[in-house]
A and B are shown apart, each in its own frame.
Chain A
Amino acid sequence: MKTVIIKYNAGNVQSVMYALDRIGASYLLTDDEADIRSADKVIFPGVGEASTAMAYLRARGLDQLIPSLKQPVLGTCVGMQLLCRYSEENDTTCMGVFDVDVRRFPGNLGLKVPHVGWNNINDLKGPLTEGLPESAFMYFVHSYCADVCDYTVATCDYGRPFSAMLQKDNFYAAQFHAEISGNVGQRILENFLKL
């Protein structure tokens, strides 16, 4: 099986690579179109800022390539946000796979922003959370989040409910960092690779 991690400017993908090492999965880190198209599984990670990341993807045509992929694609953290329609972070038009907007956590709820730490995910649906208990804890670090919508397959609550995971056709996405979310996070990666 060929797993590709998309290489772009959105930060540190080491943790994802190490998590795949722990599972015993091999992978290729690349931005090459042919390699990405021929992969069995595609992981689209991301930390960093949305507009800079989108500009980079556009300059290389990856913003057209990614939504056209037919194999299972997993976007994580900022990778998930970039698969949505729009992000409030620097007024960024994103790739629009998921017809939902990404908004900043309001600063007026007495909540600290960013949302940092372990929070539980609920209303679990779909294959990636198979075998996970309701209210499993995942590690989150983010200031922006996608609203709950028709594609939501896991919710989380921080001041208001938001989408912890999304799924539409072959596109899967998680706002949390499964790669550093202990054994339950590892299970999500294993479930994705088994698709």
Chain B
Amino acid sequence: MLTKRIIPCLDIKDGRTVKGTNFVNLRDAGDPVELGAIYAQQGADELVFLDITATVDERKTLIDLVRKVAHAVNIPFTVGGGISSVADVSALLNAGADKVSINSSAVRNPDLINELALEFGSQCIVVAIDTRYIRVELGAEGLEQSETALSATPSALSSELFDHIVHTHGGRKPTALRTIAWAKEVENRGAGEILLTSMDTDGTKAGFALDLTARISAAANIPVIASGGAGSMDHFVDVFTTGKADAGLAASIFHFKEIDIPELKGYLDRQGIPMRLTL
């Protein structure tokens, strides 16, 4: 039976993990290679490395890092951050990445998804979608956002004025794209998977955005990786049952050992969620 996947995400800057970790057994707490290898041994199903700076100067560092990770880790891993061309993807795959994740560049130039799928195959193209539930207004050129849902007075506004809107630049910049329509479009253009991050739940530890995840999962016939909001093991249960996600991604709760991956996978297995149990 195809299992649900648990994916730790490592934020990388200058070839180092950005957020600290609680792994006392690490020789070097900032070394993404060592951390990735530990997660792989613990039973993580995949890894995501997100290069959060990704300037031109830093690409070389990233390529070196990808090469080292590919040597050390025997599970699939995805690299994202600052990828905007066929050449970028080619360099990362040649260094040993199994998949790449694109985000802002796909919004700027949706044809990039088609180009990458044709060149490298859909199986290695993940489109990351950062989304936020905000107030929208229909302007002359379609959709323009106005203010966030939080700052609006709920009673004064019809819920029809709100929608899940795709954001870029780490969730800071709203676009004109409605999230569900964009998810369908990226599938049609050849994306192999969707990495969906709810900026509304990200960092809250109050649970994943279940309703949105379920709607995206129903709308797109490709796997959906849910991200943003994991704070407890039950949140993972919810995202796989109610949220219909194919994979759950989290960062700090794993890094700070608030949730231990073998324990989480054992718990999910006992809840009847198909899991790959190792060890």
Contact = CB atoms under 8 A, between A and B. Distances in A.
B123 A142 contact: yes
A76 B106 CA distance: 31
Nearest to A118: B276
A112 interface: yes
Contacts of B247: 117
A57 B250 CA distance: 42
A141 B45 contact: no
Q: Is the interface of A mostly helix, strand, loop or mixed?
A: mixed
Closest 10 CB pairs of A and B: A118-B276, A141-B123, A14-B96, A137-B276, A119-B2, A180-B76, A12-B93, A18-B70, A118-B3, A116-B223
Interface in B93-136: 93-96, 98, 120-124
Interface of B: 1-5, 40, 45, 70-71, 74-76, 93-96, 98, 120-124, 192-193, 221-223, 246-247, 276, 278
B191 to A, nearest CB: 11
Contact of B75 (A47, A48, A182): A182
Contacts of B1: 119-120, 157
Contacts of B71: 18, 21-22
Contact of B121 (A48, A113, A116, A182): A48
Interface in A17-31: 18-19, 21-22
Contacts of B74: 19, 22, 179-183, 185-186
A116 B192 contact: yes
Given A15-B96, A116-B223, A118-B45, A49 B70 contact: no
A182 B76 CA distance: 9
Interface in A87-109: 107
Contact of A118 (B5, B96, B98): B5
Interface string A158-175: 100000000000000000
A123 B222 CA distance: 28
Contact of A114 (B75, B192, B278): B192
Contact of B98 (A140, A142, A180): A180
A150 B248 CA distance: 38
17 contacts: A12-B93, A14-B70, A47-B124, A113-B222, A114-B122, A114-B123, A116-B123, A116-B246, A117-B4, A117-B246, A117-B247, A119-B1, A139-B75, A180-B74, A180-B75, A181-B75, A182-B40
B93 to A, nearest CB: 5
Contacts of A107: 221
A142 to B, nearest CB: 7
A22 B28 CA distance: 22
A126 interface: no
Contact of B94 (A12, A19, A140, A142): A12
